[in-house]
Amino acid sequence: MRSFKGLFMLIITNLLVFLTLAISGTILINFVLPAFGIDLRGSVATYQFAWAMVFGFGGAFISLWMSKSMAKRMYKMQQVTDPTTPKERLVYNTVRELSQKAGIKMPEVWVYWDDAPNAFATGPTRNNAMVAVSSGLAMAMSDDELKSVLAHEMGHVDNGDMVATTLLQGLMNTFVYFLAGMIARLVASAGSRDGEMNFMLYFIVNMVLQILFSILASVVVMWHSRHREFKADAYAARAYGAGNMIRALQKIETLSQQSRPAEEQESSILAPKDALATMKIHGTTDGLMALFASHPSTEARINALRKQ
């Protein structure tokens, strides 16, 4: 049920983002920029690149801006403002302590009910973030292990990983849209004597190329994602010791392997089990698919921590 809810929300969100960017892009390129002497309407290539930037960076930053609200809608969450249980106090006080040390505004603290051991951080800026912890993680971890996981997530916040990833995603999106559009235009106009473009052929070629280029672009984005996981692990090691983070990763790996068969039965190609799959503390890599993994293998992360 949560899969279909997430898929429906993703479709609606993308439609709203498309309409917003189409309207704002039209106003920007055709009215606002020309008023300041910047006319991007004369050249087809320049015009297309301007549109690619509007959709590439605009879509990425709108997704970032909506990340907190989307996360809250994906899970049954409860914000912790006045902790009452020992685990709630531990989570809340750890996030507060780490944010004070980093000199940033304390992120919102949320817990959600899910047996899978997970935690994630998101939000548009370092001073407007949230840290969420699943009930499965909170109950499975010892206090020191849980604090290390929270420090890992706070590492993402303090390092500005959300914004950095958004900038990279926006850049990749821009080149995907631009290259796909330019090549599709050339193909759709190639067989025409009068220079008229076959719009149906343009649409088909453009969509196919966007998919292919997006796959290639995701390799770069996922490489950056794996790199930031190592940095967040190092942040946690500095805060509470590498040993605690290693034990936390080992426990999460064991618990994830135990629950994986059930997850695979529930998953579907058309309806992914978890639309927030990149918002996880744990990930797996296997063969060629390692290029598309948002997280390094647990073994690689532990080896890196042992070198701290």
User: Cα dist. 83→54, 79, 144, 258 in Å?
Assistant: 43, 9, 18, 31
Pairing of strands 128-134, 119-125: antiparallel
Which CB contacts under 8 angstroms, 24+ apart, belong to 203-209?
A: 205/180, 206/180, 206/181, 209/179, 209/180, 209/183, 209/184
Which residue among 145, 153, 229, 253 is the active-site one? 153
Which residue has 């912790």 as its token pair? Answer: 80
Q: Which residues pair with 122 in a beta bridge?
A: 130
Contact assessment for residue 128 and residue 105, using Cβ atoms and an 8 Å cutoff = yes
229 catalytic? Reply is no
Buried b (16+ CB within 10 A) or exposed e, 89-124: ebbbebbebbbeebebebbbbbbbebebbbbbbbbb
Gyration radius of the chain's alpha carbons: 22
Q: Which residues belong to the active site?
A: 153
